[in-house]
Structure 1
Amino acid sequence: MIRFLLVQLFFVAALFAAGLQWRSSYPEALQEAHQSGKNLMIFIEAKHCPYCERMKDEVLDKPDVVRALKNFIPVRLQIDDPVVKKEFPKASVTPTIYFITAKKELLMDIVGYLNEEFFYWRLGAAEEEAERLKKTSH
């Protein structure tokens, strides 16, 4: 019985650990994107932003969403970060999400909170745009 409980506990812990592996350095994430061929998902948040927390808890932490984002490198940045002001100057509300390529080409942006269904819809559009850009750049 104890062995069964330990296996169950390990399984639950693995599920929680399987969330998004957030990066906090935009330059390092860009370098990783160049090396891996992946695109980036930039999540711009603010401290004490209830909609940012809701987006992370109700959408971005869902196992299905984590799997759907497998081709993206997730980056969390604070709205007052100088990198945000320089690289994403149009970000004025939180949460704001940018899907971009390693070449900094915009695939899609999301301004404000989206539920899981609408997030999938926008993610699909970002993936389609990434494919379109690949075809036109060759």
Structure 2
Amino acid sequence: MIIRRTIFLFTILAFFVSLKADFKEGKVLFEEKCASCHGEYISFKKLKENFFERNNNLLNLTIPTQNMLAWAIMEGSKKVGDPNDSEMRIVEIEEYLKSYLANPDINNTVCDNHVVKYYKEKEPMEISEDEATLLAEYFMGYKADRLKRFPKPVKVLKDNNDGKIIKEALEKNKQIIVFATAQSCYFCKKMKHEVLDLTEVQEAIAEDYIFIEVDVDYVALPFGLNKRFKGMTPTFFILTTSGQLINTYPGAWDRKDFLGILKENL
């Protein structure tokens, strides 16, 4: 039993080491063969404004950007493969890429139906088995690579330093969010996973806010917020760049409502 378990662990480790190495090759391949058509990264906040508020008149996109492709394949409503089975998912993404590129049928796209109507018809192209594998590994590793290069806009407060936070907020001209949480809080973890970890939400936060996470079981809330805190986690406090309280939002929120909170306090 121990030997089999050890072999299994080494197999998984080898798989992820290989995936990391081939991601770099896949990135080079994408840049050589795809990047001239599929533009560079555009924030989801701007993409949402472009497609849902401006009818594509802001960016005039006729083909998805590389981050739009990665999101559609890995996280969109029509995502490819099972997120819990990485080995099988690579195979399924490979097959999808080969099939779609050989026959770019709009009815078979992974892109959102609302944005597809703006895209021009794609010319068919053939890719080899090796190229399909490298591109699949590139899309598989895209989000992790971006988060490594551009970390989540979350600061975990371990001691109170109001002056340092305000200095950063003033320098960057951003307001402040204090997220009151606790390790034992089920809804805090649920909201992190379902809302705060979403790329769209992280980008909206990073655009306009300094985000401070505080475990209230171990650290006092900054800016004298303990006086306003009713003991419910999660609670979100929105403050000005100088640390003055604007609004308090106790409880967990879904993606749409939380994005609304971010927008209405600007």
Deviations 1:43-100 (A, max 9, x none): 1101110010011111111111112112101110011345317621222110001111
Which residue number in structure 2 is paired with residue 22 of structure 1?
154
Paired residue secondary structure (2:220): helix
Which residue number in structure 2 is paired with residue 61 of structure 1?
197
Which residue number in structure 2 is paired with residue 122 of structure 1?
261
Highest RCO, 1 vs 2 (Cα 8 Å, sep ≥ 6)? 1
Q: Is the Cα–Cα contact under 8 Å of residues 55 and 115 in structure 1 kept in the other structure?
A: yes
Q: Is the deviation greater in 28-37 or in 50-59?
A: 28-37
Deviations 1:95-117 (A, max 9, x none): 00111112112222210111112
Partner residue of 2:242 out of 88, 103, 115: 103
Shift in Å, 1:19:
6.0
Greater C-alpha Rg: 2
**2:207 aligned with 1:76, yes or no?**
no
Bigger share in strand: 1
Paired residue secondary structure (2:252): coil
Which residue number in structure 2 is paired with residue 136 of structure 1?
none
Counterparts in 2 of 1:29 and 1:50: CA distance versus 1, 3 Å: same
**2:185 aligned with 1:49, yes or no?**
yes
Counterparts in 2 of 1:81 and 1:33: CA distance versus 1, 3 Å: farther
RMSD over equivalenced CA pairs, Å: 2.3
Aligned residues: 127
Q: Is the Cα–Cα contact under 8 Å of residues 42 and 97 in structure 1 kept in the other structure?
A: yes
- Give the unaligned 5+ runs of structure 1: 128-138
Counterparts in 2 of 1:47 and 1:37: CA distance versus 1, 3 Å: same
TM (normalized to structure 2)?
0.43
Shift in Å, 1:30:
2.5
Q: Is the Cα–Cα contact under 8 Å of residues 40 and 101 in structure 1 kept in the other structure?
A: yes
Separation in structure 2 between the aligned mates of residue 95 and residue 4 of structure 1, nearest angstrom: 39
TM (normalized to structure 1)?
0.77
Which residues of 2 match residues 27-38 of structure 1 at below 5 A? Answer: 27=161, 28-38=164-174
